[in-house]
Structure 1
Amino acid sequence: MKLLITGYSGFVGGVLTESLAELGTYELNLLGRKSSNLGDVFHHSLDADSDYSEALDGVETVVHCAARVHVMQDKALDPLAEFRAVNTQGTLNLARQAAQLGVKRFVFVSSIKVNGESTTDKPAFCASDKPMPEDPYGLSKAEAEAQLLRLGQETGMDIVIIRPPLVYGQGVKANFASLMRFVAKGLPLPFRAIRNNRRSLVSVYNLVDLIKVCLVHPLAANKTFLVSDDQDLSTAEMVALMARVQNKKNIAIPVPVFLFRIAAAVLKKQDVVDRLTGSLQLDITETKNTLDWTPPYSVEDGFKLAAKK
């Protein structure tokens, strides 16, 4: 089977491309800008105008990992327009051409931000929930999902949507990596009292395993799946596990949660504090039942792999 992978040089796409190349059962076309010896590379940006016909020639399945990613402090003058240009319009341009050229299945790596930002004092998110994106990134992904499903109905191309929460693993960057480094340095962290929240995470290895299932599973067609490690952690538990897998002492100070909330109000950092003290849980029961899938890596397995240098 010939596959086209977009975002092959990114965090998720890189692990996926290496995993599929090792299997040796797929012929890989890679859409992006960087060189690679794991498949045939086609140098294109993701936008509303590019012609992807050469990259799609003979392809049966597209795995679309490329995106303009979410950042905490976006410097763009019009972030929504920037996200839409890549995540919505670029995705639909690629998908339309794929359908026209006979691609059978389009696997779209979306985001749990389509569901919303928080499940604090709410049930866990489900795939069947009404989309409630709260930021430009989540909105651009939600719009892409809706248009992909319509395209699938019109053309007969299978659409598979996967919504991960925070993805971590070896080489991850941003907040997860920073927290892991702080723990490794033995710095005292004020998170011991944050025990009542619950957050779903997914290791990149579990996410890639699910993507591989969705390439071929007949019941994946035209469905949306949530994915996680299926073991949610409080912030305190997360920090303790980071310490354990790095053989470090967990130097955590029990600062009361209400003090974080006061600090958030004073410093106008409510979104940051919400991520530390709030909950974001995913119910992946439908994913497991529909696809007969269980995450192959435990949370501790994933954290150990993430801690490797």
Structure 2
Amino acid sequence: MNAPLIALTGATGFIGRHLLRELPRQGFRVRVLLRRPSEVPEGASSAVIGDIASPQNMSAALRDVDAVIHSAGLAHAMSGRPEDDYRTINTQGTLALAQGAERAGVKRFVFLSSIRAQSGPVSDVVLTEEQAPGPTDPYGRSKLEAEQGLAQLGIDWVALRPVLVYGPGVKGNMASLVSLARSGWPLPLGSLKSRRSLLSLDNLSGAVEAVLKAQGSIRRPFIVADPEPVTIPEMIAALRQGLGRAPGLIPFPPSLLKAAAQLTGRGEAYERLAGSLVASPNALMHFGWSPSVATRQGLARLAKASLAHDA
């Protein structure tokens, strides 16, 4: 019997590239859905060109597909985009693809949503799926509206809400943190106490595998996060352990760090990293997901990988 066929969007992105490598190892065949033939990623054994916003053109792409993993979208790191852009790509594009999948007889639609569909960049409480969603920006609202639209369709669906994902090739604030850890300087971050949930790429791909292989209907969102949240000093210590170095952390008043970040135009980045955002993955773990990578271990691997990339 043939292995299940998965249609994957976003295969040229940070998460999509990892899924493209991992899905065959998990026992799936992968068909990559692309907008342009020039984007065919390395490792793609099958690719179909089409526009997810025009489902009438996607019938061939979705033929014989067992499940869709939709990881493409407009990321919140892209600043300056109007809210309508997020809604067009992240909401309407998602629902158009899901409707096309439903017409093609696809059994399950896996949507890579975001923790930002549930919360702003910081939270004073531990986040769970039972809480009423409260997105605070156009990106988060577009993801939540896509989830709500999926709930109105007949296809079986699941929305994965990952927290900040880290792994080789990561960009943004996590890449900046890796660069700080790789510097030879002592860092004045030792007094930061706020905790944040992170998610390794390997644990995310394990979560995707769990929902793809689950029996019965799902039709709900799941938070995806490594089980143990960490502080910024713990992140730096883990990264530097991977580099074979001591933590090199110095206590320094957080209020002065915040003021310095604001003066240098990095206030928002500081708030994202230094503020608390703890999300509970218990619902997904009870569903059958078992994370394989501990956060400190994953961060140490990330630091080692950054050295190998430069070699």
Shared fold (TM-score, shorter chain, > 0.5):
yes
Aligned-pair CA distance for 1:177:
1.5
What TM-score results when the alignment is normalised by the length of structure 2? 0.89
Structural RMSD (CA): 2.0
**Residue 84 of structure 2: aligned partner:** 81
* 8 A Cα contact 1:160 1:220, kept in partner: no
Distance 1:130 1:225 in 2: 13
SS of alignment partner, residue 113 of structure 1: helix
Stretches of structure 2 that go unaligned for 5 or more consecutive residues are none
Question: Which of 175, 191, 196 is the aligned partner of 1:199?
Answer: 196
Amino acid at match of 1:165: V
Distance 1:139 1:133 in 2: 6
Stretches of structure 1 that go unaligned for 5 or more consecutive residues are none
Q: Are positions 1:58 and 2:73 aligned together?
A: no
SS of alignment partner, residue 143 of structure 1: helix
**Residue 171 of structure 1: aligned partner:** 169
Distance 1:192 1:173 in 2: 23
**Residue 297 of structure 1: aligned partner:** 293
SS of alignment partner, residue 230 of structure 2: coil
Q: Are positions 1:137 and 2:143 aligned together?
A: no
5 Å-filtered alignment, 1:76-155, equals: 76=81, 78=82, 80-120=83-123, 122-151=124-153, 155=154
Distance 1:131 1:48 in 2: 29
SS of alignment partner, residue 55 of structure 1: coil
Structure 1 stretch displaced more, 211-220 or 12-21 = 211-220
What TM-score results when the alignment is normalised by the length of structure 1? 0.90
* 8 A Cα contact 2:190 2:233, kept in partner: yes
* 8 A Cα contact 2:238 2:300, kept in partner: no
Distance 1:279 1:92 in 2: 32
Task: Give me the identity figure in percent.
Answer: 33
C-alpha distance 30-144 of structure 1, shift in aligned 2 (>3 A): same
Q: How many residues align?
A: 298
Distance 1:125 1:256 in 2: 27
Distance 1:66 1:49 in 2: 15
C-alpha distance 61-22 of structure 1, shift in aligned 2 (>3 A): same
**Residue 237 of structure 2: aligned partner:** 240
Q: Cα deviations across residues 191-240 of structure 1 (Å, max 9, x unaligned)?
A: 1110x211000001000001011002126611211111111101111111
C-alpha distance 58-40 of structure 1, shift in aligned 2 (>3 A): same
**Residue 159 of structure 1: aligned partner:** 157
**Residue 13 of structure 1: aligned partner:** 16
